[in-house]
Amino acid sequence: MQQDDIAIRELLEEDTSSILKAILRATDHGVMLTGLDHTTLAVNRRFGEIFEVDIHEVVRLDAMAVREKVRRLIPDLQAWSENLKEVYKDRLRSQEDEIMLATQPTKWIRRYTGPVLGPTGAPTARLWTFLDVTNAVRLRRMREILADLSAFLDPDPREVYKRVVEGVSSFYGSNAILSILNGHTMEFHEVAGKEIVASGVRENVLEESYCQFALIASGPLVIQDASREAKFVGLLPARFGLTRYLGVPLKLSDGSQIGTLCFMDSYSDIAIDEEDVRFMSLLAMRVSAEKERERAILEREAAQRLVVESQARDLESTRHVLSAMNQAFALVGTQDDLNQTIASQTSILRGAVGYDQVGIFCSVSDGTGLFGHVATESLGTQASFLDSSAELRDLFKPVRSLVIPLKLLPGRAGFLVLAASGTSPEISSLHEAHIEAITEQVSLLLSARMLQAELDRTDQELAATQSRLIQTEKLSVVGTLAASTAHDIKNILSSISVELGFVEEDPHRTLASVRAHMDRFTILAHRLLSYSKPRMVAMGAVDLHEVIQRVLALTSGHIRVTNVDVVLEESPSLPKVAGDPHQLDHMFVNLVLNAVQAMHAHGGTLTVRTVYRGGHVEVEIQDSGQGMTPETLQRLFEPFLSTRTDGFGLGLFSCRRIVEEQGGSISASSEPGKGTQFTVKLKPAGGDHEP
């Protein structure tokens, strides 16, 4: 310490003592003067108040006894003792710091110590001063807590308001509660503090809580001493001795109050001031924001849960429908007649897409009515015969039903009836897609069964003359024969259906076109023979231009309704080719229909081009559709590979077989988004050559 930082007039010894006593009484600091041997020489009243000791005892006791008196207030006794050793070891040492005293409530003291120097500059004693800075520390800690919480972020709002509640409890040494209003109950969403945590209480009736008054006031509520106010004294917290309370309502952005953030304890002698109200109000604003964020998260989770549940129901419905369709397609390989097939199909479909009653009916071949089966939950599957389609709805009495026409062979009508005895299933785009898929599947199955019946009759007629050949060949061709024939008949029936749509506009042209399509059945019959006798190909000289004209005439109906423009680029003098005209007709019909179907969604341009190149006659059929991926293109001519959900994957396989039987080849090129081109190469007939 410098010798010239204090100026003192020379005084009498008795005056010095009086002045020292006056100074010790006047200061707000607690003061202790000790000798170099640690003995207490003088203390003032403020020192006794701060450390809760009798100052007269302090000056009578030795140093160790004095320390024993105050040690109960020192949280870290070891660190405190080590510091005293260092201070007294260095007699010239000065030190200033802050210490916490474990009083109730906690006190923060700014401590200073320095040597007392004699006339020669040598230390003769040590001065200690203690200033209560609890309020300053409290304000500083408030700012630190607010700064910490403003920087604290967590995806889970609960982690944020948990940290707020724990911070309030730690700061005040009290019970802190985040309560959410639920009817007439305040539910504790987060608690901290010895009394509340130890009690295990997780809620309180609103009428028994201090919080009800904070919610009524719609603002901060301070209760300094509940035992002194009649309206509070009988409430549950007051009965447990928790008489001091500060609570702030939690408000959402729409102004609604959802609960409170509060602390309560028994320290009614410690005043709650405006800084406490401001501090708690800021924390309540943060908790309110987190509660609003939590509500938004829960709403999003609930919405996502509904989406997932809806998708799960759709997935289950799709799985059910696919399972039913797979079982139904398995019927194709059975030897059941049409009646048995309908009975099995109705039983399989019962319960699909929410319908517990299913009926399938077909017109009797002699036109006398409808026969079929109805499957219900209570009665199982029963056969029915109806005189007319008008009786279909009457068959399903207290039920809402759907009657859907089936697409069967010409001359045969059919209906699928779906009905629900309870509330009708919710109609959605997926639901409609399921019904459409089921309808297509039933139509295909029944058409295949009808066709199978026709094929069986044809097979029986041919059996007498061709039994030996059929026995040797059927294992290799029967699978491909049934599926390929179904594919071809579906194309023919589809073309006839399209043409019939124009009957009112031009009946003569429609009739001619239908007759032309009926000729395709003749082509198909020849094709069946080619399957049974693959080497019997009627080769001859064929004019490809005539073949192409026939094919375009046969497919004109499909081309017209799909908004497809045809560009025909014919080489002026094209040599005839060696081939079977009927099989070439079938091959080019398949290629043209494939091209038209590739442009079905948006229309486009079909280009048919003939050219003589490199010793071969080439026919190029090009569409402007969506094209194909390299992976699809690589496997394009494999059997049973189709890019359409309603296809069999036998059309292009059949085309390759036909062109190879004529001694030619077929290839394809395509790019996604730029269309596809098929190129057929055939050999010139006999002596024909390039003109």
- Residues 142-177 have pLDDT tens digits of 999 999 998 999 999 999 999 999 999 999 989 999
Overall average pLDDT of the 450-459 stretch:
76
The answer to whether the 13-132 and 537-682 domains have the same CATH topology is: no
Question: Model confidence at 377, in pLDDT bands (50, 70, 90)?
Answer: low
**Element spanning 442, H or E:** helix 429-500
Extract the tokens encoding 617: 């006659």
Contact present, 612 and 650 (Cβ < 8 Å): no
Please write the tens of the pLDDT for every residue from 540-551: 898 999 999 988
Query: What was the pLDDT predicted at 532?
Result: 46
Judged by average pLDDT, the poorest of 137-141, 224-228, 415-419, 547-551 is 415-419
Q: Which CATH class is domain 537-682?
A: alpha beta
Any idea how long the chain is? 691
- Our CA angle for 583, 587, 589, nearest 5°, is 115
201 or 477, which is more confident: 201
Distances (CA, A) of 624 to 46, 249, 604: 100, 69, 6
Query: What was the pLDDT predicted at 187?
Result: 94
Extract the tokens encoding 594: 């494939």
Overall average pLDDT of the 474-495 stretch:
63
**Element spanning 428, H or E:** none
62 or 642, which is more confident: 62
Extract the tokens encoding 131: 């200033």
Overall average pLDDT of the 370-397 stretch:
67
Highest-pLDDT range among 139-143, 312-316, 403-407, 443-447? 139-143
Query: What was the pLDDT predicted at 454?
Result: 77
Average pLDDT, the chain: 82
Largest CA distance in the chain: 155
Match 């259906």 to its residue by tokens: 497
- Asked whether residue 287 carries a pLDDT value surpassing 60, the answer given is yes
Overall average pLDDT of the 495-509 stretch:
77
Judged by average pLDDT, the poorest of 141-145, 304-308, 379-383, 560-564 is 379-383
Distances (CA, A) of 143 to 80, 150, 302: 27, 10, 38
Omega before 105 within 30 of 0, i.e. cis: yes
Round to whole Å and give the CA distance between 361 and 346.
10
Distances (CA, A) of 39 to 11, 87, 388, 639: 26, 14, 123, 110
Residue 98 three-state SS: strand
- Residues 13-132: name the CATH superfamily: PAS domain (3.30.450.20)
Please write the tens of the pLDDT for every residue from 217-274: 999 999 999 999 999 999 999 998 999 999 999 999 999 999 999 999 999 988 999 9
Architecture of domain 334-492: 2-Layer Sandwich (3.30)
- Asked whether residue 691 carries a pLDDT value surpassing 50, the answer given is no
Choose which CATH entry (3.30.450.40, 3.40.50.1980, 2.60.40.1120, 3.30.1280.10) describes domain 138-299: 3.30.450.40
Contact present, 24 and 1 (Cβ < 8 Å): no
Full 3-state SS string of 333-390: HCCCCHHHHHHHHHHHHCCHHHCCEEEEEEECCCCCCEEEEEEECCCEEEEEEECCHH
Query: What was the pLDDT predicted at 52?
Result: 92
Domain boundaries, the chain: 13-132, 138-299, 334-492, 537-682
Round to whole Å and give the CA distance between 214 and 262.
10
Question: End-to-end alpha-carbon separation of the chain, Å?
Answer: 126
Extract the tokens encoding 418: 């779906």
Quote the DSSP letter at residue 185. E
pLDDT above 70: percentage of residues in the chain: 81
Indicate the burial class of 579 (C-beta count within 10 angstroms; 0-12, 13-18, 19 or more): buried
Please write the tens of the pLDDT for every residue from 643-667: 665 444 567 777 888 888 888 999 9
Identity of the amino acid at 528: L
Please write the tens of the pLDDT for every residue from 25-79: 889 999 999 998 889 999 999 999 999 999 999 999 998 999 999 999 999 999 9
Using the Cα atoms of residue 661, residue 662, residue 667 and residue 673 in order, give the sign of their dihedral. Answer: negative
Distances (CA, A) of 482 to 98, 329, 455, 561, 590: 98, 13, 9, 29, 17
Round to whole Å and give the CA distance between 188 and 168.
15
Helix, strand, coil shares of the chain, percent, nearest 5, are: 50, 25, 30
Full 3-state SS string of 532-573: HCCCCCCCEEECHHHHHHHHHHHCHHHHHHCCEEEEEECCCC
Query: What was the pLDDT predicted at 292?
Result: 92
Show Cβ contacts of residue 3 under 8 Å, excluding neighbours closer than 6 positions.
117, 121
Show Cβ contacts of residue 329 under 8 Å, excluding neighbours closer than 6 positions.
441, 445
Question: Model confidence at 2, in pLDDT bands (50, 70, 90)?
Answer: very low
Query: What was the pLDDT predicted at 442?
Result: 83
Overall average pLDDT of the 294-301 stretch:
90
Round to whole Å and give the CA distance between 19 and 303.
80
List b or e across 213-228, with b for residues whose CB sees 16 or more CB atoms inside 10 angstroms.
bbbeeeebbbbbbbee
- Asked whether residue 473 carries a pLDDT value surpassing 50, the answer given is no
Using the Cα atoms of residue 463, residue 469, residue 475 and residue 477 in order, give the sign of their dihedral. Answer: negative
